[in-house]
Amino acid sequence: MKTAVYVYTGTGNSLWTARELASRIGQAELISLNRHEKQLPLCEADIIGLVFPVHIWGVPPPVMEFLDLIKTNPKPYVFAVAVNAGQVAATLIQLKKLLQAKNLHLSCGFSIDLPSNYIPWGGAISQQKQQKKISAALEKIERIAGTVRNKEDLPVEKGSLWQNIFFSLIYKKSLPHIAGMDKSFFADEKCSSCGICAKICPARNILMTEGKPVWQRRCEQCFACIQWCPEEAIQYGKGTRNKKRYHHPDISLKDMLACTEGKKS
Ligand SMILES: Cc1cc2nc3c(=O)[nH]c(=O)nc-3n(C[C@H](O)[C@H](O)[C@H](O)COP(=O)(O)O)c2cc1C
Ligand code: SF4
Ligand code: SF4
């Protein structure tokens, strides 16, 4: 039984989740969606998994783009994990509908709550709090792997009704503006011109010009650039200068760059 786990990630939470899950499901191949090609080979796996972060209470645009492109065997078993910071809202309901439109059935969809990478709303939480979330996530991943191995069919996880209605509206209103939200990014005087931000960006949205990053208005809002800059030189508006950066503690810059370069994770 072949399993393909597709993963999109900005700060490693989804990559870590996908890895932990794949190792428990067995015979699973991890495929990175960071900078995926516009033409995808037929996916012949019997089980297909999608692991991605929740962005603005919904499915991130690159994942939607991938769903437009994927071609599969007639009836794969499909599962999903929406990695978030406590507000999955209607993300998995949205995903289920997107898959239905492709004649694919989402058999189960889970929320995994890990530390937030949305730095405008707060810097990294303490290492102790991070570990608490990671341990709880691991327990849930163990259960998810069992569900997938048994090919169970369950309702997808979702937020409360008011959250789903209200946040879905905000998601829809925000979608057309995501690409241009990078206008709030800038590199401050600490920038050492290392170019890591340009290399790690899944959207190829950063060009190095005279040794400094210049954002190109095709942002995916994954926050990889700001969170992985080794000098903490990237800011997002006025409020991020003194906030602690975050990426998953078990995911390295090398892992992320491999993901972006399309190498096996
Ligand atoms: C632009 C943006 C929007 C986000 N929106 C949500 C959200 O709606 N709900 C939520 O719980 N977390 C939200 N987050 C937090 C991420 O989903 C969360 O930190 C996730 O674990 C990041 O996964 P990654 O490390 O694989 O990128 C958002 C993060 C970013 C950067
Ligand atoms: S990663 Fe940071 S230090 Fe390196 S070029 Fe980008 S902004 Fe400058
Ligand atoms: S510019 Fe930054 S936030 Fe936007 S897609 Fe690239 S790495 Fe992600």
pLDDT, one tens digit per residue, over 181-238 is: 999 999 999 999 999 999 999 999 999 999 999 999 999 999 999 999 999 999 999 9
Pairing of strands 47-53, 3-7: parallel
Residues 92 and 158 sit within 8 Å (Cβ to Cβ): yes
What is the pLDDT, as a whole number, of residue 41? 83
Q: Which atom of ligand 3 is nearest to the CA of 181?
A: 4
What is the pLDDT, as a whole number, of residue 264? 52
Ligand closest to Cα of 236 equals 3
Give CA–CA dist 32/260, Å, rounded: 7
For residue 227, the CA-to-ligand 3 centroid distance in Å is: 10
- Who lines ligand 1 at CB under 6 A? 9-14, 53-57, 83-87, 114, 116-118, 221-223
Give CA–CA dist 6/63, Å, rounded: 9
In Å, how far are 67, 98, 193 from 39, measured between CA atoms? 12, 19, 33
The dihedral sign for the CA sequence 14, 15, 16, 19: positive
**50-108: pLDDT as tens digits:** 999 999 999 999 999 999 999 998 789 999 999 999 999 999 999 999 999 999 999 99
Low-confidence winner among 33-37, 45-49, 120-124 (lowest mean pLDDT): 33-37
For residue 223, the CA-to-ligand 3 centroid distance in Å is: 5
For residue 177, the CA-to-ligand 3 centroid distance in Å is: 14
Tell the residue nearest (CA) to atom 27 of ligand 1: 10
What is the pLDDT, as a whole number, of residue 74? 79
Q: Where are the alpha helices (DSSP H) in 119-219?
A: 127-149, 161-174, 196-200
Q: Which atom of ligand 1 is nearest to the CA of 222?
A: 31
For residue 100, the CA-to-ligand 3 centroid distance in Å is: 29
For residue 102, the CA-to-ligand 3 centroid distance in Å is: 28
Average pLDDT over residues 19-47: 91
| SS percent in the chain: helix, strand, coil, step 5 | 40, 20, 45
Structural domains of the chain, with CATH: 3-166 (3.40.50.360), 178-260 (3.30.70.20)
Q: Which atom of ligand 2 is nearest to the CA of 211?
A: 5
In Å, how far are 42, 78, 241 from 73, measured between CA atoms? 8, 11, 48
Question: pTM score > 0.95 for this model?
Answer: yes
Average pLDDT of the chain is 95
- Who lines ligand 3 at CB under 6 A? 10, 182, 201-203, 205-206, 215, 219-225
Q: What is the dihedral of CA 111, 113, 119, 121, to 10 degrees?
A: 90
Give CA–CA dist 16/131, Å, rounded: 13
For residue 155, the CA-to-ligand 1 centroid distance in Å is: 22
Q: Which atom of ligand 1 is nearest to the CA of 115?
A: 19
Residue from 218, 203, 215, 200 nearest 11 by CA: 200
Measure CA 106 to chain center: 18
pLDDT band at 262 (very low <50, low <70, confident <90, very high): confident
